[in-house]
Amino acid sequence: MKTKQEQEDHEHGHDAEEGHSHDDGHDHDHDHGGSEPAGWKSHWDLLLALVILVTMIVLRFGFHFVPTKWVDFGIHAVAFILAGWRVLDLAFRKAKRGDIFNEFVLMSVATIGAFYIGSYSEGVAVMVFYCIGEWFQDAAVDRAKRNIKALLDIRPDKVTVVRNGQTQVIEPSETQLNETIQVKPGEKVALDGELLSETASFNTAALTGESKPDTKYKGESILAGMINLNTVAEVKVTALFKDSKLSKILEMVQDATARKSQTQLFISRFAKVYTPIVFFLALAVALVPYFFVQDYVFNVWFYRALVFLVISCPCALVVSIPLGYFGGIGLASRNGILFKGGNFLDVMTKINAVVMDKTGTLTKGVFNVQKVVANGIDEKDLIRITAALEKNSTHPVGQAVVKYAVDKIGNTTATNVEEVAGHGLKGTVDGKEVLAGNLKLMKKFGVDYPAETEGIVDTIVVTAIDKKFAGYITIADEIKEDAVSAVKAMHDLNIKTVMLSGDKQTVVDNVAKQIGIDEAYGDLLPEGKVEKVQGLKNAGKHIAFVGDGVNDAPVVALADAGIAMGGLGSDATIETADVVIQNDQPSKIVSAIRIGKITRTIVWQNIILAMAIKVVVLILGAGGIATLWEAVIADVGVALLAILNAVRIQKIKV
């Protein structure tokens, strides 16, 4: 709830605490009536002031017409009030609260001071060009925020729902769980659901950044934001409108613009210290020479102090830096990468080691049974019993066994099922104790198995019945198409690559060799992964961990940046990861690092540009060389250059 003062400010159109802020925060009160439209009609007074200023300059220098002092003062005063009433109003209200060290008071003092010494046109020019610069800055920031929101705000306004055999067009928010919706060719899916039609093709570009069609089959998940490409598709709603993956992503991206980077926080703190220092330095420029200069003239040194105040305005920094981070977040979103804040863009620039999970990150996680070897039991029985136990597992390896045994399992069920973390499952099938998992499970329960099984390269599910080895099933995963090129690109950036997996070492070594991974560790339990990552941190590495963000939560928490692959498939992933890669491509890890580096480079270009030019003009102003004209042109010019530099981030290809 707003305070009474805040409500009063908002009614004036300049609420510095509640209105639009350039860095979406409240640290430096850099707001200029963001509740107003950015069009020229809302700035008619500023444009009229500009016309008056230009007219007076043309009359003076073009036609050598100089009105009397009071006429000259009156005309410029009208232009000054038209241009600067918003700034003067906000400066007055802030000063009334005791907040005098801000840019509004700074500009008010500088321009009123110019009028005091008779530099009317300079005073109007400072206020006019300052306000024009602020207008452009507000427009640039608003546009950047709108671009980010529009990037993912693709939810349709209407949805066709099937009720009582009839179709109705309603609001998506009115749709209930388990209802059936129809999606016509060319329409966007409004809600998450399960495909009821036999098959349908969808364009997922808005969600993943990839425009190639994705064919879905009956029973597969369909997500809000996908576009149906061919036939009418029927979808059963599995999540309410507010709970869809797309809604969660929208919230995440909007939150990202509010989560500041260390650079933004530093500049905000810097501006709070910098502005009062500038005030006192300007005061010193005006008064200190009295004690050292023989022919001291107050108006001369006061004018130099005004130049000092104008050029020292920190607008270029407090505007262009958050704008740069908005641009980086927008660029990443367009490439199917979601950053949870500008701070993570900074983190990615320091990454020199990428630790990756194997399954689902570097491999597709689509396992298929390759070979079944039974020992003292019929092969069909081995498959049936193992699949009955694996039905209780969500692991891709177990699901591959169940899929293979779909026509062999019958009514066989497992009871008393227990999961042995990192090892496999234990349960009862056909009245017998069954173990199904890796070789570590066999060792844990003292089951003897043939020595040759140790040398099998593929992933294997070993089964024991009543503590006796009953055979094994080999399963192979497929490496993702861009995994090799992604790892090579990381090496080109001098980034160390490490793969961690719970799979046996032979499988891990085989995958690592094919992809080109520097170091690969298998047979790891969750605590083993934490130990490896901690070892890298102790060696001074800045680590990004790439996995599903759920099962590997301890490692994600330990890493400098947690990156989730395929975040659209998991609510928990979206909530726990720092960065979400939407299309499962390892190459996007490199894109995320590059976007972080691009953003940081442009932000620092702006900081150096602004500070360098300001220091030069400050020195020239204090020395009496630069005038108010140079000061305002330098201030507004630097701000606009910084804005243009920040805006170009969104057009860069990675």
Within a 10 A sphere around the Cβ of 367, how many other Cβ atoms?
Answer: 24
Which two structure tokens, joined as six digits, stand for 360?
Answer: 């689902």
Q: Give Cβ neighbours of residue 96 (< 8 Å, ≥ 6 apart).
A: none
Rounded to whole angstroms, the Cα distance separating 275 from 435 reads 70
Q: Give Cβ neighbours of residue 344 (< 8 Å, ≥ 6 apart).
A: 561, 578, 579, 596
H or E element in which residue 444 lies: helix 439-444
357 catalytic? Reply is: yes
Q: Give Cβ neighbours of residue 386 (< 8 Å, ≥ 6 apart).
A: 401, 405, 434, 436, 461, 463, 473
Which residue type sits at 188? K
Kindly report the three-state secondary structure assignment for every residue of 20-49: CCCCCCCCCCCCCCCCCCCCHHHHHHHHHH
What are the DSSP E strand ranges found in 400-454? 414-420, 424-429, 432-437
Which residue type sits at 238? T
Both ends of the chain: CA-CA distance in Å?
43
Angle at 514 between CA 509 and CA 515, to 5 degrees: 100
Which residues on adjacent β-strands are paired with residue 221? 194
Which of 637, 388, 363, 635 shows the shortest CA–CA distance to 503?
Answer: 363
> In which order are the strands placed within the sheet that holds 432-437?
368-374, 468-476, 459-465, 432-437, 424-429, 414-420
Q: How far is CA 24 from CA 8, 16, 254, 563, in A?
A: 21, 11, 11, 25
Torsion of CA 308, 634, 23, 344, to 10 degrees: -110
500 and 524 in contact (C-beta within 8 Å)? Answer: yes
Helix (H, G, I), strand (E, B) or coil at 562: strand
From 357, 458, 552, 578, the catalytic residue: 357
Instruction: Determine phi and psi for 342, rounding to 5 degrees.
Output: -60, -25
Which two structure tokens, joined as six digits, stand for 214?
Answer: 């994705």
Is 277 buried (19+), middle (13-18) or exposed (0-12) by CB count in 10 A? exposed
Rounded to whole angstroms, the Cα distance separating 20 from 12 reads 14
Which residue type sits at 652? I
| Residue 493 region by backbone torsions, left for phi larger than 0, else alpha for psi between -120 and 50, else beta | alpha
Any idea which residues carry the catalytic annotation? 357
